[in-house]
C-alpha cells in the first residue's frame, strides 16, 4: 500500500500494488485481510474521495494464484470492512456510521463470476 491522501476529517486512502502491478485508477482504505492459505487478499476499495458524496466503498477480492480480482456490491454511505475468509466463504461487514447500522454479508468464493485480470 502506498499513501495517497486522506479525506477531510477522515481516514487515509492508498494506492495498491500487487506483485509489482499498480492498480491504476483505484484507491483503497486500510482494511485488508488474507485468507489462511494466502491465496486471497480482501481490500476496501474507495469509489470516491469526495467528502460530501462519500463514503462509497466496496470489498474487492484478489486471487493471487490466478492474477485476478473481483469486486463485490457497493456500500453507499458506508464502509465495507471486517473481512474474514472462512474456508470457501468470504464474510465482511458493511458499516453505516451515520445511521448506526452494521450489516453482515457472506459470499461463496465459488459463486463469484466477475473475475478480471489485475496485471499484464
pLDDT average, residue stretch 83-90: 97
CA neighbor of 4 nearest in space, from 46, 32, 43:
46
Q: Is the pLDDT of residue 69 over 80?
A: yes
Scan for cell 499513501, then name that residue: 3
pLDDT (0 to 100) of residue 120 = 54
Parallel/antiparallel/unpaired status of strands 12-15 and 2-6: antiparallel
Cα distances (angstroms) measured from residue 90 to each of 12, 42, 56 = 25, 9, 20
Calculate mean pLDDT across residues 31-45: 97
β-sheet bridge partners, residue 5: 13
Residue range 67-82: average pLDDT? 97
pTM of the model: 0.93
Amino acid at each position: 500500500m502506498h499513501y495517497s491522501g486522506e479525506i477531510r476529517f477522515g481516514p487515509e486512502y492508498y494506492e495498491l500494488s500487487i506483485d509489482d502491478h499498480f492498480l491504476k485508477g483505484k484507491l483503497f482504505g486500510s482494511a485488508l485481510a488474507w485468507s489462511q492459505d494466502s491465496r486471497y487478499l480482501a481490500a476496501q476499495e474507495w469509489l470516491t474521495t469526495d467528502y460530501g458524496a462519500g463514503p462509497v466503498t466496496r470489498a474487492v477480492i484478489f486471487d493471487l494464484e490466478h492474477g485476478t480480482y473481483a469486486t463485490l456490491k457497493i456500500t453507499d454511505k458506508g464502509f465495507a470492512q471486517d473481512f474474514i475468509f472462512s474456508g470457501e466463504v468470504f464474510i465482511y461487514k458493511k458499516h453505516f456510521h451515520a445511521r448506526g447500522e452494521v450489516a453482515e454479508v457472506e459470499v461463496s468464493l465459488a459463486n463469484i463470476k466477475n473475475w478480471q485480470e489485475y496485471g499484464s
